Structure 1
Amino acid sequence: MKRRLPPLLALRAFEAAGRLMSFSKAADELNVTQGAISRQIKLLEDFLRAPLFRRLTRQVELTPFGQNYLQAATAALNQIERATVQSLQEARALSVSLLPTLGALWLMQRLTSFMTEHPQIRLEVSSSLEPANFKRDGIDVALRVGKVRPSRQTSSPSSTDKSIPCRMCASP
């Protein structure tokens, strides 16, 4: 089924103008001209087939329909904003798995500077003696030293003797 949504730019212009009770202030907030705000609101009024504002000499005033629609539009845009913020926060999580000794002796000394340089990244650190299972555990990075011993979780013998040199600490 096709959605019957209003033009979203027009909805955004209306919400700003209704919240600020000014086309000029809405234009400043959205970095467009006052005329652009006026055209977007007219487009929305045509779509809804109802006036949203009473245009007075030097001000605007919401109609009763406009007041009700502003509440609904504000709630919808707030919900979209919350979902967006949450999605961005989840997307910026970095999951790191490492040996307990690596965590205590190497990573903890470096966490403060990493978090200072990259405050937008949420770090999730876990320690384990077992080989990392990236798919099952949702791990992005695993730090291990030496050869991986076979375990119940390892799928193939060839994956047990891979070692990658550590470039961050200049040692294998």
Structure 2
Amino acid sequence: MSSTHIKPPLRSLQVFEAAARCGTFTAAGEELGITQSGVSRQVSDLEAILGVDLFVRNGARLSVTPAGERLAIQLADAFARTWSAVADAKRSEQIVTLSMLPSVAARWFAPRLGSFMSHNPEIDLRITASRHLVNFTSDGVDAAIRYSPGPTGNLEVTKLGTETILPVCSPDYAQKHGLKTPEDMQHATLLCGDIPEDWPAWFKAAKCQQPPNMGPRLGDDAAILQAAVEHQGVALGRSLLVADDIAAGRLMAPFDISLDASYAYWFVRPKTSAPSEAMIAVKAWLIDQFCKM
């Protein structure tokens, strides 16, 4: 077979480009981690395959021929684009897009963002907050934290944790309205949400006979809890979402009476692809955080 039909090895092209750029075989060898003689041999083999001289050798002195210069310029551009593509591929493996409810993102995840970043500085975590079930294929989402009785579909499912539902309000509100017994709640503003556990169920658990007077309904848990922080009434708080506010003194639980939530938190992702190392790390971090609750 004619040498003109032989494709030169990629390694020979890489060695030649380094030699042309560095100016000496010795410098190219140091960059590539091979000997000076190894560089010389690779270049000679490439010249034999191409049938052209790429360097003019004058003792220890070395200069690139016009043909070599043209090849070196094109190879430098090609390698630059190649290494850029490799870097992009590595970066994409470090990107994880995670979906969750707006209330979970605002009241639970956001305060822990710094912890995640300090433990996983190499991961590019992107949060999308939505009250709707995402489509993993069309929405470009890799995984989700779902709050439900139990996810269905062709999903990899890991239970993260459960919670309780309990009345919460600001300390000032509890003091102002004298909330000392469950019966005192008859005179409070009851903030209503859309979770299955509602005020009638809590009043039944508290063994209160008189039905409560319902207050304003706010569909989003983050809005309900913010209203409670701002002394606007008493909310039925999900324990995961109110833990930080209670610890900081922004909210309090005036009564030790709670309901078991019928929903739980689940980590879900499609079964159609193997998880990346970044995805595995995100899942492990979430499991650890829920274990601390």
After superposition, where does 1:1-172 map in structure 2 within 5 Å? Answer: 5-147=7-149, 159=152, 164-166=159-161, 167=287, 168-170=289-291
CA contact (8 A) 1:147 1:163 kept: no
Q: CA deviation at 1:171?
A: 7.8
Q: What amino acid sits opposite 1:170 in the alignment?
A: C
Q: CA deviation at 1:57?
A: 2.3
Q: What amino acid sits opposite 1:100 in the alignment?
A: P
Q: What amino acid sits opposite 2:94 in the alignment?
A: R
CA RMSD of aligned residues (A): 2.4
Give aligned-pair identity as a percent.
31
CA displacement 1:76-116 (0-9 Å, x = unmatched)? 11111121112222222101000111111221122223223
More strand, by proportion: 2
More helix, by proportion: 1
Q: Distance in 2 between matches of 1:119 and 1:165?
A: 23
Q: Distance in 1 between matches of 2:94 and 2:40?
A: 38
TM-score after normalising by structure 1: 0.82
Q: Distance in 2 between matches of 1:76 and 1:163?
A: 44
Q: CA deviation at 1:4?
A: 6.0
CA contact (8 A) 1:165 1:171 kept: no
Gaps in structure 1 of 5+ consecutive residues: 149-157
Tell me: CA distance 1:70–1:163, structure 2 relative to 1, closer, same or farther (3 Å): closer
Q: What amino acid sits opposite 1:45 in the alignment?
A: E
Alignment: residue pair count = 160
CA contact (8 A) 1:146 1:163 kept: no
TM-score after normalising by structure 2: 0.50
Gaps in structure 2 of 5+ consecutive residues: 162-286
| Range with greater deviation from structure 2 (50-59 or 134-143) | 134-143
2:133 partner SS: coil
Q: What amino acid sits opposite 2:65 in the alignment?
A: T
Tell me: CA distance 1:120–1:29, structure 2 relative to 1, closer, same or farther (3 Å): same
Q: What amino acid sits opposite 2:18 in the alignment?
A: A
Tell me: CA distance 1:57–1:116, structure 2 relative to 1, closer, same or farther (3 Å): farther
Q: Distance in 1 between matches of 2:138 and 2:40?
A: 53
Tell me: CA distance 1:10–1:163, structure 2 relative to 1, closer, same or farther (3 Å): closer
